[in-house]
Amino acid sequence: MSIHLPVDLSLVHLLIEILATLAFALSGLLEAARKKLDAVGVVVVAGLAAFGGGTLRDILLDRRPFFWMQHASWLWALLALCATAMLFLRARHFEVTERAMLWPDAIGLGLFSASGTRIALEMDMPAIVAVVMGVITAVFGGVLRDIVCNEIPRAFRDHRPYAICAFLGSWILVVAPSLGASDAVALLASAAAITLLRGIALVSGYQLPEWNSGHRSDR
C-alpha cells in the first residue's frame, strides 16, 4: 500500500533545511553566550553550527554552489538572529546550560540528517554513502562549534547516542521507496525518527558503553 502526501517535495525539503538551520544556529548562540563571546564570536559560532555540516557535505559531494550561497537570505537571517539575541536576551531569559542546548541540537540532528541523506540520494550516491552524508550534515556543524569554543565535541563525549541516531534514522529514506512511501513522507518520517531516538536517549539517560582498552590514564 503506497503512502503519499499531496505536498511538493522541494517545499518540504526547503522547510526542513530552514528549521534545521535555525535549530543549529540556536545551539551555537547558546554555546557562544555560555562562553561570553563578543559579537564576531557569536556570529561565527552560530554560523559554524548552522552551516558547517552542510558545507562539508557539499565539499565531499562536489556540490556547487554551497547551500548557504544558494540561499543568501539565510545569512541575513543568521545575522538578524544573532543581533536580536545579543540585544534582547539576557541570563534571566534563558539559562545557558548544557541541558538547555541538547534540545535544539536534537531537533537539528533529525532535520539535517534527513536533508543531507536526501541530497546524496538525489545525486545517485550508494545507500551507505548517502546515509554517511546525512550524518556528516547533522553532526559536523556541532563538532566545529565545539572545537572553536575549545570543547571536546559533545557528539564524542557525552556517551548518549547522537551520530548513531542519525545513522539509524537516515536509513528510512533508503528503504521507504520499497515500502511505497512518497519522498515527502520518507523525509518527514526520517527527521522525526532521528529526533525521537535522540530525545529518548536524553530522557532515559541511556549511555553508550565506554571503550575500556585496559589503559590507565594515571600511569
| Per-residue pLDDT, 121 | 93
| Per-residue pLDDT, 30 | 81
| Per-residue pLDDT, 40 | 92
| Per-residue pLDDT, 178 | 86
| Per-residue pLDDT, 1 | 47
What is the grid cell recorded at 127?
Answer: 545507500
d(CA 202, CA 187): 23
Residue 176 is given by DSSP the state G
d(CA 46, CA 43): 5
Residue spans of the chain under pLDDT 70: 1-10, 12-13, 16, 89-101, 212-219
| Per-residue pLDDT, 101 | 67
What is the grid cell recorded at 105?
Answer: 541540537
What sign has the CA pseudo-torsion 7, 9, 15, 20?
positive
Q: Do 202 and 158 form a contact (C-beta atoms < 8 A)? A: no
pTM, two decimal places: 0.79
Q: Where are the domains of the chain?
A: 9-204
